[in-house]
Each structure stands twice: as structure tokens, then as C-alpha cells.
Structure 1
Amino acid sequence: MSFLRLESLTKRYGTANAVEDLSLDIAQGEFVSLLGPSGCGKTTTLQMIAGFVEPTRGRILMNGDDITARKPNQRGIGIVFQSYALFPHMTVAENVRFGLEMRQVPVDECHRRVAEALELVRLDHLDDRYPRELSGGQRQRVALARALVIKPPLLLLDEPLSNLDAKLRENMQIELRAIQQQVGTTTLMVTHDQSEALSLSDRVVVMNQGRVVQVDDPFNAYERPNDTFVSSFVGKTNLLAGDIGSVQDGNASITLGDYTLEMPFAGDLHSNRIQLSIRPEKLELTDSDNGHLQGKVRTRLFLGNHWLYQIDSSAGELLVTLPNLGPTDFTVGDEVGVRWQPGAVRILEEQAHG
């Protein structure tokens, strides 16, 4: 049984649909991310759940209760904003205690729950500090403690890590997921960061132009995208055009540049032209006479944990990433072969959603 249910949720501003007919079920204790580019409707969806924006149509049910018309302070939802929204004149402990005081929780219980929340986020030693005396990661954890101390049935996270630098963001992803699993609070996060959504979530809801285009676990959202939009937005990919020569016994013969490959094909053939996706890390560089495709190295970049190659091939431009196992054998101007393992190439829907 779903804990949070969105039924045909729609929000219109004039003639424009910010969110259109969004239906989603989230289980108790699940961590779900709304992922998409700016303007896709993810933040509007979060604001409707929080009660800050009134839906044009549809219902929001939490634990079976219809909360669509309830005011924000009647929903009991914990929220962590992108800006953290801490009170600068209050200490860490006072910021965390604020929600309990508004709910008139007894003083002794307030002290106990604040101490527990600060210990959970490992800030119990900084309870008398002010926000200006904290790092970005520490302020983020104070905001998280303040949201969790009221023991909300649902936690909403609005781009919670976007103000942090790359290294701190990565560390906070690990901490945030560990805390959520320890507490078990049902969590919905809004983000445009693909790696953040993939690393934190039980399921990812990919949105574009106000609509949900794929709901999946992180692995399948990355490895088995529904269409060209999901394929290109959820991580880097090579989108290539192929030509179907024939389809027989569920297999298609597809020409890709100067190479012909055989692939399972169960769709309807509306055109001989088809869109293919190959992730850069699924490709290998070989000697020029050993590849599926022939190409030439245009660019080589060293990115620390991997090398990024840009290859001009008969099928078009290809991005190839190779793990950093030491100096590479290929440099700019080299003639190379490009290979891939069976199953690395995926056929996509012809039309992208964006």
C-alpha cells in the first residue's frame, strides 16, 4: 500500500501546464527523487505536496488521508530548503528546537529530541554555535535535523545539496542516505543533479515539460532509458542514427556507419531510420583494424579517475571514457577502432520528449 499517493496532479498557470496529470505512488520509508531540467515541473510538484501551491486538479493522499486542501502547517511535513532557511540570530540548538516549540512540545521532551537530532547528524558538539560560524555542510545538517526533530511522516528535500562544492556534496550524499535509512522517514527529493538522484534514491522519477517520462530504480533509469530524453539527461550518452535493413524472427539488421549489427527488435517499424544509444563507458578503443567502427581521436582529456576521448567515426562523433589505469596508448590524431560488448547498444524511441 502506498504511503504517499499523487492522483492526476495538475497545475496550470494561465494556458501553460507546469505539471500535467502526474500520478505517483511512494511506499512507506522509500526515498524517491524527482529528476529533471529547470522548468520540468519537479519543484511545483514538491510545493503542491507541501501545500505552498494549490493544484488545479488532482489529489494528494498521505497514509490514506486526502491532504490536498490542508494548509502547510496542518500537514506535519518536514522540509529542507535549498537555502537551508536557518534563523541567523538563533544557535544550532535553538534552530532545531523551533519546530517543537511551535507545536508546544514540553520543555524536557524538547531538550531530549533536540539532543537526539543533533547526535543523529553529528552536530551535538556545536549546539551553541550560530549559522554564520558553520560550514555549508554543517548548515545543511542543521536544516536536516530541524526537519527530522518533529518526526515528520514525510520529508521533502528541495535541491538540498546544490549550494555545496563537489567534494562536500559527495560526502553529504553518503551522510544523507545513511541518516534517511537509519530514521526510515519517507523522503521525496527534488534535484536536477543526475548523480545525486542515482546515488541516493530507491526510485527515480524523470520529468520533462510537466510530465513524468520514466519511473524506475536508478540502475534501470540509467541502463534502460525509455527514450532519447531520458538517455541524454540521465548521464552522458552517444545518440546515433542507424538504418534498419531488415527485421526477421525478432532480430533487426542495423547499419551504423560502416558497421552492421544484429539486435533484438520487438517494436513497430515506422521508418527505416532508428535512434541508438551507447554509454561512453561501454565503449573500448582498440587498434584501428580491430574495432566495430573506425575512427580518429579528435580530443583527449584527463579527468583524474578517467580519460575522456572524442572520436570522429563513420557513425558520427563518439564520446569514450576509459578508466585511469595509467598512461594511455592513444593520443590526438591516432586512427583507432571502437568496440563494445553485446547488449551495450540500446534502441530508443524515435521521438524525444524534450
Structure 2
Amino acid sequence: MSFLHLESLTKRYGNNVAVQDMTLDIAQGEFVSLLGPSGCGKTTTLQMIAGFVEPSRGRIWMNGDDITSCKPNQRGIGIVFQSYALFPHMTVAENVRFGLEMRKVPISESRQQVWEALELVRLEHLEDRYPRELSGGQRQRVALARALVIRPPLLLLDEPLSNLDAQLRENMQIELRNIQQQVGTTTLMVTHDQSEALSLSDRVVVMNEGKVVQVDEPFSAYENPKNKFVSSFVGKTNLFACHIDQQIGSQAQVKLGDYQLEISVPIDIQGDQVQLSIRPEKLELTHQGAGQLNGCVRTRLFLGNHWLYQVDSSIGELLITQPNLGVQGAAVGEDVGIRWQEGAVRILGEQAHD
């Protein structure tokens, strides 16, 4: 049996369904992210697991126990909020000790546990400082230490890195993943940041309009999106509605502009109208006439480690990313060829008209 089991979990607010029939299993020690746009139901799911929101239907099981009706303080779950929710009048050590005091852990025991938690997040030298004296990343680590010091069976993270700037957020992603793997605590994170979910998680649960759309390992979710929504939300993509000219078994002939493409067809595809997906990094700019398609560069953006191109082609507008190899690359207005490797173009498991 899984460590955390959500069984047909549903939450309604009047006629609005925030979460619909969510069933999910999370293994002991696994790091899972709920990923989706605002209003998709991910935070409501987290709040139901924490006990802050009562489900309209369904059950929540943790380590074999039904905790659906348990109060939040009876669940023993560690939570890190988006705002960190630190007590401004308490020092770092006092903030971390708070959960232990609520559990009436003797000061002689809690002192060592607080030290170990601060050492885990590398803040033991700041134990006497107040939150106002800390950076955003340090406050985030205090909140994490406070959640972990009670040694929770389950750690819930509610957009924990969203208040940090881009560079600090990347650094904290590494810190957070290292800490989670070191401690081995089962972790469920809510985020709308695709790169955050992909980099931190063992599995990603993609949600939309209250429903689970796809549950997969990060690499599989990105490389093999189930449908148009997942393809567009989990990273950037180029989408095209196409017609299957001929199909033999699982292989089909599809015309992409002037190029005839042979491609594998998912088993759930019905009919001959399909949606093709091509990731921007799977496309490569080359000399005009040397690729499968020709185009003209409309826009070029320099993003540091890579270039982002907007190219007009015979099949429409294409987004193309190219690594920064220390050269300027194609210029705006330049005629170019566009090529890709076998397997770069995917048919999505969704009708073109859906």
C-alpha cells in the first residue's frame, strides 16, 4: 500500500468543482509535485491533505490510516507556506523550536533537535537572529527547518520558492532537493513553475480545471505529453493541426508544409485529424535549403545561455531555441533552413479540434 493515498478526492464550492475525483498514490520518501495553472485545484488538494479544507467526497489515507476527518494538529504533517509564516518577534531558534513546544518536548531534548534542524539547512550560525535580519532564502530555510524539526511523516510545500528572485530560486531548488533526499521525508509540493517541478520531483502530477491530466516522471511528462494542454504547459512547444494521409499499423504519413513525415501514432488517436508537437530546442537553424523546411527569422532574443528565435515558415510561426556557442547566430530578416532529428515531432493523444 502507498504511503499517501488519495481516493476519489473531490471538493465543491456550490456549483464550482475545485477538485474532481482525484486518485493518487505517493510512495514513502517520494517527492511529488502538483503542477498546474492558477485555479486548477492544486492548492485546494494540498489544503485537504493538511486538514484545512474538508473534502466534499473521497478519502485521505496516510501510512495506512484514514486521516480524512482528523484535525490539522492531529495529522503531524509539516507544512512550509508561500509566505514562510515566521513569527517576527522570535529568533531563528525560537521559530524552529515552536512546533516542539506545542508538542511539549522538554527543552533539554528540543535544544539538540533545533540545532540538528538548523545544521541541516546550514543556518546554525544564525540561531539568534530575527526574521527581519535574514535574506529571503534564509527565511525560506528557517521555515523548512521548522517544518522538519518535528520529523513529520509528510512534508507539504505550498509554492515555497515563489517569493525568491530567479537566481536564488535556482540555488534553493538544489538545496531543497538535497535536504529532502538526505532526510527522506515524503514530500508533496504545489507549484505553477514548470522548471521547479521538473527539477525537484520524482513524479509530476499535471492538473487542469480540477482534474489530474497526467502523472509521470518529469522526463516522460516533458518528452511524452499526453495531450495539447500538457505539451503547452510543461515547457514551450510548437503545435500544428495536421491530416494523416496514410496509416499502416501504428505508423502514419503526415504532411508538414512541403515535407512528408512518417510518425508513430498513439493508440488513443481516432480519426485522421491530429495535433503535432515540436519542442523549440528540438529544432535547429541551418542554411536555407539544408533542412526539412525553410523560413525567415522575424525576432531574435538573447537569453544568456541560449538564443530564442521566432521564425516564419511554410507551416506557420515557429519558436526555436539554440544554445549560445559564443557566436551571434542567425540575424533578423535572414533566410534560414529548419531541421530536426527523427523522433522530434510527436502526435499528441488528442484530436486537433479538441
Residue aligned with 1:167, SS: helix
Residue aligned with 2:336, SS: strand
Residue aligned with 2:22, SS: strand
Instruction: State the shift of 1:291 in Å.
Output: 1.1
CA deviation profile, 1:314-343 (whole Å, cap 9, x unmatched): 111101000000123411111111100001
CA distance in structure 2 between the aligned counterparts of 1:164 and 1:270, rounded to whole angstroms: 45
User: Matched residue pairs, number?
Assistant: 354
Instruction: State the shift of 1:77 in Å.
Output: 0.2
CA deviation profile, 1:107-130 (whole Å, cap 9, x unmatched): 111101000000000000000000
Runs (4+) of structure 1 moved beyond 4 Å? 351-354
Which amino acid is 2:57 matched to? R
TM-score (norm 1): 0.98
1:130 aligned residue:
130
Instruction: State the shift of 1:260 in Å.
Output: 1.1
Mapped pair 1:337 → 2:337: yes
What's the C-alpha RMSD, in Å, of the aligned pairs? 1.3
Q: Structure 2 matches for 1:1-354, cutoff 5 A? A: 1-267=1-267, 270-351=270-351
CA shift in 2, pair 1:257/1:142, >3 Å: same
CA shift in 2, pair 1:345/1:189, >3 Å: same
CA deviation profile, 1:247-292 (whole Å, cap 9, x unmatched): 1243111011121101122536644321000110000111111111
Instruction: State the shift of 1:240 in Å.
Output: 1.4
Gaps of 5+ in 2: none
- Check whether the contact 1:6–1:23 (CA below 8 A) recurs between aligned residues: yes
CA distance in structure 2 between the aligned counterparts of 1:325 and 1:166, rounded to whole angstroms: 23
CA distance in structure 1 between the aligned counterparts of 2:268 and 2:179, rounded to whole angstroms: 46
Residue aligned with 1:307, SS: strand
Which amino acid is 2:44 matched to? T
Which amino acid is 2:86 matched to? L
TM-score (norm 2): 0.98
Residue aligned with 1:2, SS: coil
- Check whether the contact 2:275–2:352 (CA below 8 A) recurs between aligned residues: no
CA distance in structure 2 between the aligned counterparts of 1:258 and 1:168, rounded to whole angstroms: 46
- Check whether the contact 1:242–1:257 (CA below 8 A) recurs between aligned residues: no
CA distance in structure 2 between the aligned counterparts of 1:200 and 1:352, rounded to whole angstroms: 32
CA deviation profile, 1:59-116 (whole Å, cap 9, x unmatched): 0000000000000000000000000000000000000000000100011111010000
CA distance in structure 2 between the aligned counterparts of 1:150 and 1:337, rounded to whole angstroms: 59
Which amino acid is 1:246 matched to? Q
Which amino acid is 2:264 matched to? P
Gaps of 5+ in 1: none
- Check whether the contact 2:297–2:335 (CA below 8 A) recurs between aligned residues: yes
CA distance in structure 1 between the aligned counterparts of 2:240 and 2:188, rounded to whole angstroms: 34
Which amino acid is 1:235 matched to? G
CA distance in structure 1 between the aligned counterparts of 2:326 and 2:315, rounded to whole angstroms: 29
